[in-house]
Amino acid sequence: MPNPFIHEASKSESRLFGEVVQALAVALIFNIVVYFLFIIPSQVDGPSMMPNLLDKELLFANKTPSWFSGSPATIKQLGWDYQRGDIVIFDFLNMVLVKRVIGVPGDRIMINNDGDVYLNGTLLYEPFLPAGLTTLFPQASERAFEPGQEFTVPEDKFFVMGDHRDNSKDSRFSEVGFIPRTKIKGVVFFRFYPLDKIGTISRPAAK
């Protein structure tokens, strides 16, 4: 005579297995949606962000702000606009560069002969830079501006520099210049390789 308890246990195990599979499928779909809609992976290429980011490190960037690149008013209203101190990834020619936002639209910037960076008339607080580091100028033929020349960041564009100021091609170079909002792909928020340095990356606190 069949044992009804065994039959019920079998049905229970089958139902549990089905629920686990469904939960895993939902979790997988959720992660795929999050990945494609909100996150973009990137790799540091070269020494331009040393010592904070090293060559070949792997990063995640939040690409939510890029959804509204054609509507600056909306992105500002939502509070998602790119801020000074953000590390961003952006398209440049056939490459994706990783740099730090130094100036936002409307900011006045001046770099003097000593390499001191002034933002809106005040010496810029840059706690992410190594002590004693100097912001050098490109060769005269490659400069986007001259030492001591104050300039204003245009509307919907950003002024960016690498943290390794003597080895970074960035907005100081006329070839790069100001970065249009539409070229920025996302804001770096997480480093997932190497494993001993895994963790979040945030903009430095304002002074």
**CATH (domain of 110):** 2.10.109.10
Query: Residue 1: pLDDT above 60?
Result: no
Residue 207 falls within a domain, yes or no? Answer: no
Query: Residue 59: pLDDT above 50?
Result: yes
From 42, 66, 99, 169, the catalytic residue: 99
**Residue with more model confidence, 8 or 160:** 160
Considering the domain architecture, whether residues 138 and 107 belong to the same structural domain is answered as yes
Tens of pLDDT along 21-37?
565 555 555 445 555 56
Query: Residue 16: pLDDT above 80?
Result: no
Tell me how many domains the chain contains.
2
Considering the domain architecture, whether residues 27 and 59 belong to the same structural domain is answered as no
99 is known as an active-site residue: yes
Query: Residue 20: pLDDT above 70?
Result: no
* Domain boundaries, position 114: 44-200
Helices (H), the chain: 4-38, 72-78
Residue 48 falls within a domain, yes or no? Answer: yes
154-158 long-range contacts (CB < 8 A, ≥24 apart) are 154/105, 154/178, 155/105, 155/106, 156/72, 156/105, 156/180, 156/181, 156/182, 157/105, 157/181, 158/82, 158/88, 158/101, 158/103, 158/104, 158/105, 158/184
Considering the domain architecture, whether residues 59 and 71 belong to the same structural domain is answered as yes
Q: Which of 108, 114, 145 is nearest to 132 (CA)?
A: 114
From 42, 48, 66, 171, the catalytic residue: 48
Considering the domain architecture, whether residues 97 and 14 belong to the same structural domain is answered as no
63 is known as an active-site residue: no
Tens of pLDDT along 181-202?
999 999 999 999 999 999 999 8
For residue 135, the model assigns a pLDDT of 87
Residue 205 falls within a domain, yes or no? Answer: no
Considering the domain architecture, whether residues 104 and 49 belong to the same structural domain is answered as yes
* Final residue in a domain of this structure, among 40, 56, 71: 40
Query: Residue 130: pLDDT above 60?
Result: yes
Considering the domain architecture, whether residues 5 and 68 belong to the same structural domain is answered as no
pLDDT tier for residue 18 given thresholds of 50, 70 and 90: low
For residue 30, the model assigns a pLDDT of 45
